[in-house]
Each structure stands twice: as C-alpha cells, then as structure tokens.
A and B are shown apart, each in its own frame.
Chain A
Amino acid sequence: MKTKFLWMAWGIGTFALAGVGLARIYVTGDRTDLLPGQTAGVHHQIELACETCHTSKPFAGQKKIRKDINKTCVNCHKDELKASDDSHPIKKFKPPRMAAYWDEIDARFCTSCHSEHRPEITSAGLVTQPGDFCVACHSEGDQDVRVNRESHEGLGFETCATAGCHNFHDNRALYEDFLVKHSDQPWLQEDPTHSIEAAAREKPRPEIADIEAYLAEVSAPVSARDQGVEAHWAGSAHALADVNCASCHAPKAETEEEVTAQWIEHPEEKVCASCHKDEAKTFALGRHGMRRHPEVSNPRPAKRMLKRLGWSDPSDGAIAFLEAYLVDPTPAPLMSTAEARVPLLPDAHGEELTCSTCHDPHEQDLQFAAVGACLSCHADEHSQNFTQSPHFALWQRELAGDLPPGSGVTCATCHMPKTERRGVITTNHNQNDTLRPNEKMIRPTCLECHSLEFAIDALADPELVNRNFTGQPNRHIESLDWALKRVTQPTEGANQ
C-alpha cells in the first residue's frame, strides 16, 4: 500500500513539475531549450522569436505549415525577391503541369531549399540542397542544358551556381543578352566615377553667411546649449533643410516654452525615421537592424500568455511576479555587437547599433559613416585590407580635391548603394542587400567604373575579395565568352 502511494505521489509530482516547467516556457520564459537546431547565419538574431516564422496553428498539415512559412519568408525578403527579377519564382512552379518537378525539388516552398535549424547541411546563402541541385530539373529531355548549350557539354552540375555563372534567384547581371550587351569593354572606364555617388557628394552645404544666421536663431533650453554642437549643426545639411534643435529634441513643440518643457535629451530613432523613411525601412532589412523589422514577433506579455492558458483575468500581482522572475529573451530591441557572429575588433564589443552609431546626429560626418564607422567594428580580412586598396586611395585623392566627386570608393559605395529616383537620392541601409550572392553588386556598383567581364571575374576570386581588390583577378569566368560566341557564330548553338 505504501509503495503504491509513493508511486502515485511520484507520478503526480512529476506531471505537476513538468506542467509548471512547460507553462513557464510557454508564458514568457526562455525558449532556448526548445530550439530544434541552431539557425543559420543571420536568423540567429530572431531565432527565439519563434512566432516570427512559425505561424501555423497546432497540428496543421505539412503543406499548410510550408505555405505559412513561405509567407513569413516573404514578409522580410519580398523587396529583395521582387528586385531580383526572380528566375525561379514560386508562381512558376504552382501550376499542375510542373507536378513532375515537385518530386525532384518542390520549388513551391522556400523550405525545400532553405531548411532552417539544420546547420549540418547548410551552405552559403542558407541553402540546404546539395551543391548540384540544378541537376534535378535541367538534365533531361528538352530541359537538358548540356544539349541546349554546346558550351555546357560535359560540365558538372555542381558548377552551375558556384562558378560565377548562374544564381537560382538573381541573374540580373548574368543573363545571356546582358553579357553580350556589355562585352568588349575595357576593364576600367576612361572616366571611372560613380554618377549617383557624385551627385550625393556634391550636395550643397551651408555657406558662411548662412551658418552665422542659423547660429543666431538657435532655440534650445539653456541647460542644453553647447557651442560645439551648435557649430556642427549650423554647418550641416540638417540646418540647410530647416531641421533645427526642436525638430528632433521637441518635435511637437510650437513655442519656445513648449520646446523647453518637452525637451528630450536623447531622441529615439523614430525621430530620425520620421524623415528618413526609406533609410529606416532598409535598415530593418539588413543584419544591423533586422530586429526592428515590423514582422519580427514582439516579446510575449505575461497577461496575454496567461489568458491563452485559460486564466482569463490574472491578477496584477501574478503578472508582476512572472515578469520579475521569468526573463523573456525574444529579440532584444537592438542588435548588439556582442551577439555578432562575424569577426569584430575588441573595442567594438558591447556596442548597440542605432542610427547614431554611424551618424553623429549633429555633425553628419558622412566620411565617418561611409568608412570609419565600418572599420571601427569589422575585423575581417576584407575590411581590414580596405585602407591598403586602390579604392581607398581613390577616395583619399577625391577628398584631397585631386579627383572629381564620385571617383573614390568607400565601404558604403559597394555595400550601401545609392539610388536616384525623380531627383531624390536614397542610400540603401541594408548593407547585406548586394552581398549574397555577390554578383548582385555588379549592376548598382561595379559597372559604374568596370567592365562586366572584369567585375564577374573579380567577384569570383575569393582571394582578391579578401585583399579588398588589390591586384587583378586570378580567375576567368567563361560565361561572357560563351554568350558572345553564340551570337557571333550562330551556327554553333543558336537556332537549334
């Protein structure tokens, strides 16, 4: 009898403890132990915000789950896919005529090629298919590329996407007619300047007389006045655009009294974002700011989670207790360099990334934002070799006035390309947008000064990339030669 009682007590106790433990995790506790496997690359920043990607209801079918995950992928990658003129969009694989291909690689679902939490099979670009995945659809019948293209006879399928010739999604700088159109050009143009960079760098700054006038009209509480800060501001584009002290420190104030009363010593980023909308939006798409993306799920409030467990009206004391003792590690509002998984300089550790990390709000030193800010953190070989590169030398000569605006190449020239639309220049603050695959950089950046052939070769040479493009490529990608041959010698492949 005693043994039976002990077994019952043990069983009840075990279930109770397990229940409390699971409820703790569900309500607002640390969910690290629930991760089925480490996420790859950048997704580690949001891996504990499970609901960002997993939106399906419990016990949903596999197809429904995969469809739902498609939607969450697109939440963040929509603009990128649209801009890429995607060569393999999902809509192309949905019609039933593609059913035979669904058995090979089911391209109706992102997760067929990008399966998260599987670091053991994940390669660059979060690809979880073997490197020769093109073989699945392009090796038989009418689709056999080795038959359609004489030049491709005998090529291994593991080389399609790794040799600098093709990408699954983005082929804007690699498609055949584009290659032909940009053939026979010198590796460096006669007048190598980046036109949009030039326009941005030539933007007017206040004249001396304007600066004096701006300084005379400074309106701020006495306790906040600072001659150095005011001098920097008066010489900035902000002053020229009539963005004064109160615009950021007391944005709703209309009178001097209200400015003093509502003064905010350290305005939040949303003040910057209220004007710099495109910059804020793209910042939230890159590694530096992705935790700000509006689709990343919010931390779980204890009250809401208790309601879901059936406790419809939890007391304030219970909520306060849970919030005090259960730490919700769903993404912190800001990315910290302490969590970065790329090589960083020792001095950079512990920094949080905000607008003012790279942009001093008063000084607006774009030289620092375009180079200095990057090099104060990043310690990888490519970054640290920049100051010995020919691109940096051009930048220094431009700053010295020896070369025209747009001649110099900064970190931002390549990693934060500018676009111009109806006279408005916007800087892409998703610094990863043209990085993977790196051929995405060719059109917005490389082609401004270099030939397509040189750009493809240079980006396909990892050693040259590590040297930050000091020297010439040691690789030659033959795609342009082959494309040109089909046009100039049409008997060999064209009009089969």
Chain B
Amino acid sequence: MGNKIGKIKASILGAALMGTTATSAMADGMEFETVADLLHLVMSSDRTVYTRMVVNRLANEEGVITASEHFVDDKALVLPAQMFRFGAEMVAENTDEFSYSLLSLWPINKQNAPTTPMEEEGLQYINDNPGENFYGVEELGGDEYFTAVYADVAVAPACYTCHNEHKDSPRTDFEGGDVMGGVVIRIPVN
C-alpha cells in the first residue's frame, strides 16, 4: 500500500506539529505518505510516553492516583485514549489542513467506530497484517483526502486491562502487543 499518491505543501503541518524540527518537513513536494508517517511518529511517541511513564507508572505500578474516564469528577488522570482525542479535537479547532482520530473495530465509545468504508477497510487491514500501515484516497463531503491508518498496539497493561474490564467494551480478550485499534490521519489532497 506504500504507493506514492501525490504531493503536499507541508509547511502548516510542519509548523503545527514538528516545532523546531519543521525545517526539513517544510520543503514543498513532500509525499502525503511521508507527512502522515511523520505526524504519526509524533502522535504515537507522545501517546506511548504518556501511557507508560504517567498512567501505567502512577496508576498501575505505584498506585498513587487513578486514571478515569470521568477524570474531573474523580480527580484522576486523563485516560491515554482521551489524551489522544483531546489533542485531535484541539487540532480540529485550529486547522483544516489535517485531522486525526483513534478508532477501533471494537470501540468502547461507539463514536470511535469506523464511519467511512475506507476506515473500516484500513482498520481491518492493519489487524490482518501486523507491522504494516494502510494508505488510500477517499472522497468525503465533496473533497478528496489522503487517508493513512496505523496500528494502535497495547503497549502497557493499563491498555488491555481497562478495555477487557470496561462494561461497554465489545471485546474482552486483549493481551499485550495486540492491535486494539488504529490511528487514522487525513490530509486534504487539494
């Protein structure tokens, strides 16, 4: 699926997400796939660090604070999936140049189920082909988008124990290293 789809001016994306390292990503003509891969690298790194070094350490290993879906009411840590979603929503508030979301074929929250045929296809692909990403182009709302889907893997016990025990989880047999869902990144082609 690693075909070259097209080119993108990535200056805004670079400035938005890559900070000082944006210089190399700001050159005209970067491939959609490369831009999406770089965006995902930042997202997945931050997500893994928060999951391992904050939630798993403090909530599971040291037990000094809990992590809760209702973090305000429970005065608890934000769940890793919520942390990711809040970032995606903040990006959505600030730009239309790209969007991303964390989806699953087995979502606890039904709004995180696939809503487009390509999301469904991509999530199935990364589940059936461990270690591979999915890339494609789809039309949504009259505009064309480059869509990339990356596997979201259970990196810590905090991930799969919560999903296995949650009353709204449609799947309860996750283990460490399993693909639990996927990160979907979209970039408008035009």
| Chain A residues with a Cβ under 8 A of chain B | 85, 89-92, 94-102, 142-143, 148, 175, 177-178, 486-487, 490, 494-496
Alpha-carbon distance between A471 and B105 when the two chains are bound, in angstroms: 50
Known: A91-B89, A92-B89. A97 touches B170 (CB 8 A): no
Question: Which residue of chain A has the shortest Cβ distance to B144 in the bound complex?
Answer: A96
Alpha-carbon distance between A496 and B140 when the two chains are bound, in angstroms: 30
- Distance from A12 Cβ to chain B, minimum over Cβ atoms (Å): 48
What are 21 A-B contacts defined by CB distance under 8 Å? Answer: A92-B89, A95-B100, A96-B140, A96-B143, A96-B145, A97-B116, A97-B140, A97-B184, A97-B186, A98-B115, A100-B115, A102-B141, A143-B110, A175-B70, A177-B69, A486-B167, A487-B167, A494-B167, A495-B166, A495-B169, A496-B168
Give the chain A neighbours of B115 by CB distance below 8 A. Answer: 97-98, 100-101
- Distance from A40 Cβ to chain B, minimum over Cβ atoms (Å): 28
In the complex, are the beta carbons of A148 and B110 less than 8 A apart?
yes
Question: Which residue of chain B has the shortest Cβ distance to A102 in the bound complex?
Answer: B141
Interface size class of B (residues with CB under 8 A): 20 to 34
The interface-forming segment of B30-38, B47-55, B75-83, B90-98 is: B90-98
B44, CB-defined interface residue at 8 Å: no
Question: Which residue of chain B has the shortest Cβ distance to A98 in the bound complex?
Answer: B115
Q: Which residues between 170 and 190 of chain B lie within 8 Å of chain A, taking CB atoms?
A: 170, 172, 184, 186, 188
Give the chain A neighbours of B166 by CB distance below 8 A. Answer: 495
Main secondary structure of the interface of A (DSSP, over half): helix
Alpha-carbon distance between A178 and B140 when the two chains are bound, in angstroms: 36
Partner of B90, one of A91, A175, A486: A91
Across the A-B interface, how many residue pairs have beta carbons closer than 8 Å? 69
Partner of B141, one of A85, A96, A143, A148: A96
- Distance from A443 Cβ to chain B, minimum over Cβ atoms (Å): 10
Closest 5 pairs (CB-CB, A-B): A99-B141, A494-B167, A95-B99, A142-B113, A99-B140
| Chain B residues with a Cβ under 8 A of chain A | 69-70, 72-73, 88-90, 92-93, 96, 99-101, 107, 110-111, 113, 115-116, 119, 140-141, 143, 145, 166-170, 172, 184, 186, 188
Alpha-carbon distance between A101 and B172 when the two chains are bound, in angstroms: 30
Alpha-carbon distance between A102 and B116 when the two chains are bound, in angstroms: 13
Give the chain A neighbours of B113 by CB distance below 8 A. Answer: 142-143
In the complex, are the beta carbons of B72 and A496 less than 8 A apart?
no
Residue of A98, A178, A487, A490 with most partner-chain B CB within 10 A? A98
